[in-house]
Amino acid sequence: MKKMIFTGTAFAISAMILLSSCSKTDPAPIVTLYQKTDSVKVNFSSTTPFTLFSFKNDAVVANSDSATNKWDFGLRFTTFIVNSGISGPANAGAILQDNIYGSVTAAPVTGYGYDTATNKRAIKDGSWYDYNPVTHAFSPKAGKTFIFRTAENYYVKMELLAVDYEPFAGPTPTRLIYRFRYTYQASGAKTF
């Protein structure tokens, strides 16, 4: 009987030591701040459809979804649109700040522009780039950071890195390649 009690006690102590030495696996942290570098190809003509982009999905959105909240901003030649007002059904807005990308740590509460008319866009054409008439190059202005409130009310900061012509044959280019980096705050917070 003593042997049985000793064996049972030894087993219980061993089980407790074994269980206490096992560490719990912490759940993976929920990532809410996404930092990405991407590029989109944009039509060179000012009469073709806009190229629509979703920050949440890090992807170009089909023009057939232009009447949804699936996209945040669009580009055609050098014109930006945001998914609001005359451009889309959502309430996306944008601010172009004179700040270095790395120094922008939070999205403003107010001051966002919306697409209220074709001649009154959230992002004014020409406000973000310099044009060289000799080389025909579009260069993003240094020290400019875009702040977006997305179609789904999240916040993003974005910096244009370069605008290049897609290789072309013939006298006229057909597309521009916009290269940019952005930080997407998926939690709904305004901090970056």
Tell me the residue type at 90: A
| Confidence bin at 85 (pLDDT 50/70/90) | very high
Tell me the residue type at 83: N
Q: Residue 41 corresponds to which tokens in the numbers above?
A: 């190809």
CA distance 53 to 178: 12
Q: Residue 84: pLDDT above 60?
A: yes
Q: Residue 184 corresponds to which tokens in the numbers above?
A: 């997407």
pLDDT reported for residue 18: 43
| Residue 180 CB coordination number (10 Å) | 18
What contacts 109, CB < 8 A, 6 or more positions away?
A: 190
| Structural contact between residues 157 and 146, judged by C-beta atoms closer than 8 angstroms | yes
Widest distance between CA atoms in the chain: 100
pLDDT reported for residue 107: 98
| Structural contact between residues 164 and 176, judged by C-beta atoms closer than 8 angstroms | yes
CA distance 71 to 65: 8
What confidence tens digit (pLDDT) does each residue in 135-162 have?
889 899 999 999 999 999 999 999 999 9
Tell me the residue type at 72: D
pTM of the full predicted structure? 0.82
What confidence tens digit (pLDDT) does each residue in 55-66 have?
999 999 999 999
Q: Who wins on pLDDT, 33 or 2?
A: 33
Tell me the residue type at 36: K
Please report, for the chain, the start and end positions of each structural domain, with discontinuous segments joined by +. Answer: 32-185
CA distance 9 to 13: 6
pLDDT reported for residue 27: 60
Query: φ and ψ at 18, to 5 degrees?
Result: -65, -45
CA distance 148 to 151: 9
CA distance 50 to 72: 12
What confidence tens digit (pLDDT) does each residue in 38-57 have?
999 999 888 999 999 999 99
CA distance 47 to 50: 9
What contacts 185, CB < 8 A, 6 or more positions away?
A: 32, 33, 107, 154, 155, 156, 191, 192
